[in-house]
Amino acid sequence: MSAFEINILGASGGPLDGGNQGILLSKAGSDALKKYICIDAGSGLRQITSMLIKNAKMKNARQEFLCQDDMTESLFENLEEPVGCFVDKSSSIMRGLGPSATPQDGESVMTLALRIFNKVEECYITHPHLDHVAALAINTPACNSNGKSIWGLRPTVEALKKHIFNDVIWPNLLEEPRMKLRVNSLDEAQRHRVSCIPNWFITPLRLMHGVTVHGSNPCPSTAYLVEDDTTKDAILVFGDLESDLISRRRFVSNIWRHLSKTVAFEKLKAIVIECSCPNATKDEHLFGHLSPKYLVHELKSLSKVYGRPLDGLHVIIVHVKMASGGRDPRLVILDEVRQLAAAEGLGKIVISIAIEGYTFVV
């Protein structure tokens, strides 16, 4: 039985602007009253609008789930590729935001987009880099009277206050009483109740995202473990991260250990994780990101802590960086991850690339 809907607002790791990291999460189903949380906000209202337009254009053509033959932008050897090239055939995906995002009589796309945007009552930020927070700032004037709660580990929250909402880069709407934007720090590895979705809890787990240019100081990031306390189903969403093999720390290993003690394997519905660069990328050019060999290394560590193959686990890859070349780097990375995972005997993992404008149902 499906537990979560993962709406991909944006999954790009740059350097193209637009379509950057932003994910909506909700309970699976077509409840018109459903609420959402977002994890990262590099993309937001513009992408919600685009997803609604996609649904409107295709409304009478095919059902939402019959979308593997849809064409999506590629810009490499082909201007477009079928969605099915990026998504495992056994994955359940649907076009746009799904049937719950239905306009009321006479409701325009923009009005519906704003209504859905304001159903996103809580935002969880993995780290404060622009490709993960740009829409968080730009979309703030669209917040209704209920406002939004913005959460993150303390370094992330402090950076948002000091460097984004500072009346220089962006107006300090955090202190504008009419906006009702609430910014709060989370405690590392402590469960936090999601107020807008019943029985959901979220736990922030610390990561390493390389080091700063000046001073080579650790650049922190976050993975969020989202759990349904009633069904015990869970999903793990990573921010940008560096492999433990490069950092020589145990951040990812500690997350796997926490996961294995907290979530039964059969209840782990999906892992959303970055893989920014193909294997041809040298370590010194990863800049705190993963390539396929490092992603598979970390998945092998996950298999070890559970003491079993990862059969049936959905791994959804995000944050691929576009680069010059003949073949779409998303397809290169997907092939490399699948081949390495098979060579390591990790089991029948369901590996896909996140495609902007589509929803995974897990």
In the chain the domains, ranked by start, together with CATH numbers, are 4-361 (3.60.15.10)
Task: Read off the pTM.
Answer: 0.96
> Residue-wise pLDDT tens for the chain (362 aa)?
789 999 999 999 999 998 999 999 999 987 878 999 999 999 999 999 999 988 887 755 556 677 899 999 999 999 999 999 999 999 999 999 988 888 888 899 999 999 999 999 999 999 999 999 999 999 999 998 888 999 999 999 999 999 999 999 999 998 888 878 899 999 999 999 999 999 999 999 999 999 999 989 999 999 999 999 999 999 999 999 999 999 999 999 999 999 999 999 999 999 999 999 999 999 999 999 999 999 999 999 999 999 999 999 999 999 999 999 899 999 999 999 999 999 999 999 999 999 999 999 99
Cβ neighbours of 215 (radius 10 Å): 7
Q: Which residues are CB-contacts of 219 (< 8 A; sequence separation ≥ 6)? A: 127, 208, 209, 210, 211, 212, 288
Q: How far apart are CA 40 and CA 51, in angstroms?
A: 18
For 307, the token pair is 């003491």
Phi first, then psi: what are they for 122, rounded to 5°?
-135, 135
The H helix count followed by the E strand count for the chain is 8, 17
Q: Are 70 and 93 in contact (CB under 8 A)?
A: no
Q: How far apart are CA 213 and CA 210, in angstroms?
A: 10
pLDDT, tens only, 245-286: 999 999 999 999 999 999 999 999 999 999 999 999 999 999
Q: Which residues are CB-contacts of 294 (< 8 A; sequence separation ≥ 6)? A: 243, 245, 246, 286
